Amino acid sequence: MRMRRFTFKNALHHVMNRGLNGSVIFTNKNDKLFFIHLLHIKAALLKIKIFAYVVMDTHYHIILQNTSEKMSDFMRQLNSEYALYFRKKHGGRGYLFQDRYKSTLIQNEIYLKTAILYTLMNPVRAGIVQSPFEYEFSSINQDLNDNNKFIDYTYIDNLISIDTNNETTKWDINIKEGIKNTRFGEIIGEDRFEEDIEREIETREADNRPAPRRRENEWGFIGVDELEQYFLKTEGIDIGKIDTRSRAGKRIRLLFLVLMRERCGLTYTEINKHNIFQDVKLYSLSHMYFKGRLYFQHKKELK
């Protein structure tokens, strides 16, 4: 029986996953950049705060905060949609990842810094680069002026700036030495952290109330009606009357799908109920979303 995942709102986690049997799952630069792009999209969509990440050939590491209590959805979508992309591009069958993602609960900022430095030093330990600053596929080299508020570049910048004049080998903390195996899974922190987790879980189980569903007004999402009115007022397009058989109609539907996901926060099942998607198979919507997101990522209307 699989161990239950333990998390709670604003819990800090070090998560990672690797290819099945250690196989290469990021075969080239484009694969790694696509995964990072997907990471940004999912973090923004599901309101998960990211502190650091690194993408290697056979695995990845992410340091995150479960700010929306949707970490499970975030990881499921990240892994499954990257696997869909990988199989479509490179072929093959079966599972791409070794198993479910591995998650370690982090107690507080002291241990958070340890986890971040450990993550950023992965390419150095692998002998790929001499310094973490030389590795392209890591949060340490992303744009610190990025407008994506769910990637906390400022925290990383403040953390690494203190040591920029020192040898980066001083960052190479062996996080594994501080990990404890508990009935809640792996944790990194003081002994009393296990007691804190137990109290948190007992409080939630006693409360026994389902988390409220986040929709239009929360997180800044808008309704589908409002989105349709936007198309009508700004482009003169009545979404319900577009001809999805034409090239222009297909492009509009693709854009509408992307915005329904990212501006309305809808699931594929919910999107599938809209009249312009009822002729589309549910399993095809994920592929359409990726195609649309990549096509429109530089378009003004998505900024």
Over the stretch 263-276, which tens digit does the pLDDT of each residue have?
787 888 888 889 89
Q: Any idea which residue has 């250690």 for tokens?
A: 22
Mean pLDDT of the 116-136 span = 88
Return the bridge partners of 49, or none: 65
pLDDT at site 217 = 41
* H helix or E strand, kind and range, residue 206: helix 192-207
pLDDT at site 215 = 42
Instruction: Write out pLDDT tens, residues 227-266.
Output: 888 888 888 889 988 888 888 888 889 888 888 887 787 8
Per-range mean pLDDT, top range of 40-54, 218-232, 252-266: 40-54
The Cα 290–Cα 284 span in angstroms is 10
- Which of these, 87, 66, 81, 90, lies nearest to 9 by C-alpha position? 66
Residue of higher predicted confidence among 90 and 211: 90
Q: Sign (positive/negative) of CA torsion 42, 47, 48, 49?
A: positive
- Which of these, 87, 88, 86, 26, lies nearest to 54 by C-alpha position? 26
Pseudo-torsion of CA 245, 249, 253, 254, nearest 10°?
A: 90
Low-confidence winner among 25-34, 75-84, 285-294 (lowest mean pLDDT): 285-294
How distant is the alpha carbon of residue 68 from its chain centre?
12
Asked if pLDDT for residue 219 goes beyond 80, the answer is no
Start-end of H helices in 6-141: 29-46, 71-90, 109-120, 122-125
Q: Any idea which residue has 């936007």 for tokens?
A: 230
- Which of these, 72, 64, 69, lies nearest to 101 by C-alpha position? 72
The Cα 222–Cα 227 span in angstroms is 7
Contact 227, 263 (CB under 8 A): yes
Residue of higher predicted confidence among 156 and 145: 156
29: tokens are 């630069």
Asked if pLDDT for residue 216 goes beyond 50, the answer is no
Contact 64, 20 (CB under 8 A): no
The Cα 278–Cα 274 span in angstroms is 6
Contact 6, 104 (CB under 8 A): no
| pTM check: above 0.85 | no
| Domain ranges across the chain | 12-207, 218-302
CATH superfamily of domain region 12-207: Transposase IS200-like (3.30.70.1290)
3-state secondary structure of 145: coil
Mean pLDDT of the 4-25 span = 86
CA atoms within 13 A on the CB side of 241: 5
Mean pLDDT of the 42-49 span = 90
CA atoms within 13 A on the CB side of 32: 18
pLDDT at site 266 = 81
Split at pLDDT 50, 70, 90, the class of 156 is: low
